[in-house]
Amino acid sequence: MSQEVIHEATPQRASLLYDPRVRGIVFQVVLVALLALGIWWIVDNTIENLRRSHIATGFGFLKGRAGFDIANTLIDYSSDNSYGRALVVGILNTAIVAITGIITATIIGFLVGIGRLSNNWLIRKLATVYIEIFRNIPPLLVILFWYQGVLALLPNVRDSIGLPFGSFLNNRGFYFPRMVWSDGAWLVAVGLAAGVVLSWYVARRARARQMATGQQFPVFLTSVALIVGMPLLGFALAGFPLTFEFPQKGTFNLTGGVNVKPEFLSLYLALSFYTAAFIAEIVRAGIVGVPKGQTEAFSALGLRSGQGLRLVVIPQAMRIIIPPLTSQYLNLTKNSSLAVAIGYPDLYAIGGTILNQTGQAIEVVVIFMVVYLGISILTSLFMNWFNTKMALKER
Amino acid sequence: MKHIAIGILGAAALGFAASAASADTLSDVKAKGFVQCGVNTGLAGFSAPNDKGEWTGIDVDFCRAVAAAVFGDGTKVKFTGLSAKDRFTALQSGEIDILSRNTTWTINRDTALGLNFAGVTYYDGQGFMINSKKLPGVNSALQLSGAAICVQSGTTTELNLADYFKANKMEYNPVVFEKFEEANAAYDAGRCDAYTTDQSGLYAVRLQMASPNDHVVLPEIISKEPLGPSVRQGDDKWFDIVKWTYYALLDAEEAGVTQANVDEMKNSDNPDIKRLLGTEAETKIGTDLGVSNDWVVNIVKATGNYGEIFERNVGSGSPLKIARGINALWTKGGLQYGMPIR
Ligand SMILES: N[C@@H](CCC(=O)N[C@@H](CS)C(=O)NCC(=O)O)C(=O)O
């Protein structure tokens, strides 16, 4: 019996060495083992070194009193709060500039991208010049341009530029009245919610009716009317519970109202304008990527060109646009760490301060990596979801 | 992104550098042939390159003094310019041997950050500067409620600022920059009403403004800022050398030993001076410290005594014209007090 087994096993064993699958597995196991060993070596070495240089370690420092103030805060924060809360302030500041930047960059990007394909010579050239300028300047320079070249040159507080609705612009930023809601304001919120729900319902019904009967319904106009009208109705019913707090001249600065600081403004504008140039190119490529036959086809079906663009070309272009758009969104978020050059307190700037005050370099850098990675993964997940929604449904 | 990369590299250097933070800095320094000294990238009077590109300033001269003690040659030193934020990582990771960068001695830095401060080369305090053209009515920091204030991050300055306004129940808008130049430029451009840092720094910043005479330093001093050199913990020998270099500079001034007369002083019969200059028979003072017995002679030849360093860099011989004040020797009513060399 053994004779036979050996006889059978020998050729198998020989082939095992050359079997690409087995080899692949072996290589992967070896690689993982080496990687684990490497990481263990680094971690072990680090801990040992920190111990030897008498540097405190661990994340306990996050509970300590921060002791420094932060200019732009979206949540309540004072120097008595903890380092942990200061970090949250930084994360929120990064998030707000990334989100507003992404929205604005997308709008500008789509406009410029479509502009590049315009039949109008002037619009086409302007779009091209815009793209060429912003694509070829490093983002840091764009930020400094807005900060030192534009916003710093605005007049000082005493000579603030007055704008409509009690707003002001000066070298301390943009000031506008703050809305102060009083009793009954919840009716406005209820109105808004009702408007949104009703528009959604109308859109659903309209689509069902069009599918069944072919009759169309002005969904867009109705929705706008509902979303604006319902809150207004609530506002009137509650007896107009709104007053404004206007910015006023104080000893040094304007006080009251809402102040959008130049640090935020320049970062937001720079990131939007810079990233928009890349988005514009992506949009152009997406539209050009839809075969000309599709345009001819919708014309042949009797659709007007606006309708055709909206119903036929753009949905197909989106398939091409969304994946590279995601990486532009990620770039914008990561570029926001350039904020440190102009003193906008984003995650990186605040983390840096904490690093310096506590000396917990490794812990803070780990937090940086985790948060930026987290934001990137969230963005990717959202965009992937959006991508599958927009993908052509094969029928 | 680039900043993050640098941060990671810094942390990585801290982690990986198994040998860098070695416990025998003196041998390392001797093997290298020079002292690597972390200084400010450009703060007039403390450390700044002059028009010939040579580093000058109190903090720079202190490192030259250490090099002179170790090598008998004050030029055997290399300088690394560091921002407020990078300075501690640079020392911890072993990139530099001494941190001599207008750094305030605090308990947090002395303990949690793993530093050892060797002395106070300049007793300072934090103050405010305003543009008197733009704010003619302001003559006290207590009038600054509501002001926008430019400050550099990663400093004791931003902590004192928060405490001061809180203690006085005043509001302010901090405008916080990582880099000195950015903070200075923003203040000069009118982004802030006031600028705050160590008083010595205010005088230096003032000279860099477009029109220095418009700017006044307000009288309030809101903190204690003892600035001095520091080394890594866990290396007593190197700590001793840096510490005693500082005392030697003070003792030389107290004994009247100057750059000009040090050779002459070697013939002195005064026992204090003989011990100081290593001319006592069979002396072991220098060798016990780990340097040669004529170490103080070498130091004074390289940089002069403490008083000479002070006057040359920030005092009457400099554009800053800062008075000795509390930085005078204890014998003249100041705080500078060299421990006895015996
Ligand atoms: N003494 C304070 C402040 C030190 C500090 O960094 N001061 C600023 C303002 S004078 C500075 O030297 N900046 C120069 C630079 O970063 O290049 C500390 O140790 O935290």
- Residue B19 has a pLDDT of 42
Together in a domain, A210 and A332:
no
Alpha-carbon distance of B262 to B300, in angstroms, equals: 7
Together in a domain, B189 and B214:
yes
Together in a domain, A24 and A99:
no
Exposed/middle/buried for B45, CB within 10 Å: 0-12, 13-18, 19+? buried
Give a three-class secondary structure readout of A90-131. Answer: HHHHHHHHHHHHHHHHHHHHHHHHHHHCCCCHHHHHHHHHHH
pLDDT in tens, A21-58: 888 899 999 999 999 999 999 888 888 877 777 777 78
- How many structural domains is chain B composed of? 2
- Residue A7 has a pLDDT of 52
Alpha-carbon distance of A32 to A203, in angstroms, equals: 53
Task: Look at residue A13 and tell me if it is in a domain.
Answer: yes
Together in a domain, B176 and B250:
no
H-helix or E-strand spanning residue B131: strand B126-131
The closest of B331, B283, B272 to B307, measured between CA atoms, is: B331
- Residue A395 has a pLDDT of 58
Together in a domain, A228 and A312:
no
d(CA B188, nearest CA chain A) in Å = 10
H-helix or E-strand spanning residue B175: strand B172-177
Task: Look at residue A28 and tell me if it is in a domain.
Answer: yes
Task: Look at residue B342 and tell me if it is in a domain.
Answer: no
- How many structural domains is chain A composed of? 3
Q: Grade residue B18 by pLDDT with cuts at 50, 70 and 90.
A: very low
Compute, in degrees rounded to 10, the torsion defined by CA atoms B59, B62, B64, B69: -160
Task: Look at residue A53 and tell me if it is in a domain.
Answer: no
Task: Look at residue A74 and tell me if it is in a domain.
Answer: no
Distance A244 CA to ligand 1 centre (A): 42
Task: Look at residue B14 and tell me if it is in a domain.
Answer: no
What CATH number is associated with residue A138?
A: 1.10.3720.10
Chain B neighbors of A171, CB-CB under 8 A: 189-191
A265 has a chain B CB within 8 A of its CB: no
User: Is the confidence at residue B4, as pLDDT, over 70?
Assistant: no
Together in a domain, A151 and A266:
yes
pLDDT in tens, A213-250: 888 888 888 999 988 998 888 888 888 888 888 888 87
- Residue B309 has a pLDDT of 97
- Residue B22 has a pLDDT of 59
Helix ranges (H only) for B72-198 are 87-92, 107-110, 156-167, 180-188
pLDDT in tens, A194-217: 999 999 999 999 889 888 888 888
Which pair of tokens denotes residue B60? 């720079």
Together in a domain, B241 and B312:
yes
Task: Look at residue B2 and tell me if it is in a domain.
Answer: no
Together in a domain, A151 and A96:
yes
Exposed/middle/buried for B235, CB within 10 Å: 0-12, 13-18, 19+? buried
Domain that holds residue B47: 19-123+227-332
Together in a domain, A204 and A166:
no
Domain that holds residue A214: 182-245
User: Is the confidence at residue B2, as pLDDT, over 50?
Assistant: no
Task: Look at residue B6 and tell me if it is in a domain.
Answer: no
Question: Is-contact B160 B221, C-beta < 8 A?
Answer: no
Q: Do B162 and A68 touch (CB under 8 A)?
A: yes
- Residue B16 has a pLDDT of 45
User: Is the confidence at residue B126, as pLDDT, over 60?
Assistant: yes
Greater model confidence, B18 or A17: A17
Together in a domain, A98 and A139:
yes
User: Is the confidence at residue B1, as pLDDT, over 50?
Assistant: no
- Residue A1 has a pLDDT of 44
- B153: nearest CB among A50, A337, A349: A349
Under DSSP, the state recorded for B104 is: B
Task: Look at residue A115 and tell me if it is in a domain.
Answer: yes
Together in a domain, A273 and A155:
yes
* Residue B258, CA distances (Å) to A70, A229, B138, B265 in order: 48, 87, 44, 9
Q: Do B92 and A361 touch (CB under 8 A)?
A: yes
Q: Do A69 and B3 touch (CB under 8 A)?
A: no
- Residue B36 has a pLDDT of 97
Together in a domain, A285 and A360:
yes
The closest of A341, A145, A62 to B181, measured between CA atoms, is: A341
Together in a domain, A188 and A168:
no
Query: What is the pLDDT of chain A when averaged over all its residues?
Result: 88
- Residue minimizing CA distance to atom 6 of ligand 1: B84
What chain A residue is nearest to B188 in terms of C-alpha separation?
Answer: A152
Task: Look at residue A315 and tell me if it is in a domain.
Answer: yes
Together in a domain, B70 and B219:
no
Task: Look at residue B145 and tell me if it is in a domain.
Answer: yes
- Residue B267 has a pLDDT of 93
- Residue minimizing CA distance to atom 19 of ligand 1: B103
Identity (one letter) of the amino acid at B29?
A: V
B238-254 average pLDDT score: 97
**Proportion of chain A above pLDDT 70, given as a percent:** 95
Of B203, B223, B243, the last residue of a domain is: B223
Alpha-carbon distance of B120 to B104, in angstroms, equals: 9
Distance B244 CA to ligand 1 centre (A): 25
Alpha-carbon distance of B297 to B276, in angstroms, equals: 8
Q: Do A67 and B162 touch (CB under 8 A)?
A: yes
d(CA B234, nearest CA chain A) in Å = 7
Task: Look at residue A58 and tell me if it is in a domain.
Answer: no
Task: Look at residue B323 and tell me if it is in a domain.
Answer: yes
**Proportion of chain B above pLDDT 70, given as a percent:** 94
Strand partners, B40: B82
- Residue A14 has a pLDDT of 59
User: Is the confidence at residue B153, as pLDDT, over 80?
Assistant: yes
A126-152 average pLDDT score: 93
Together in a domain, A294 and A384:
yes
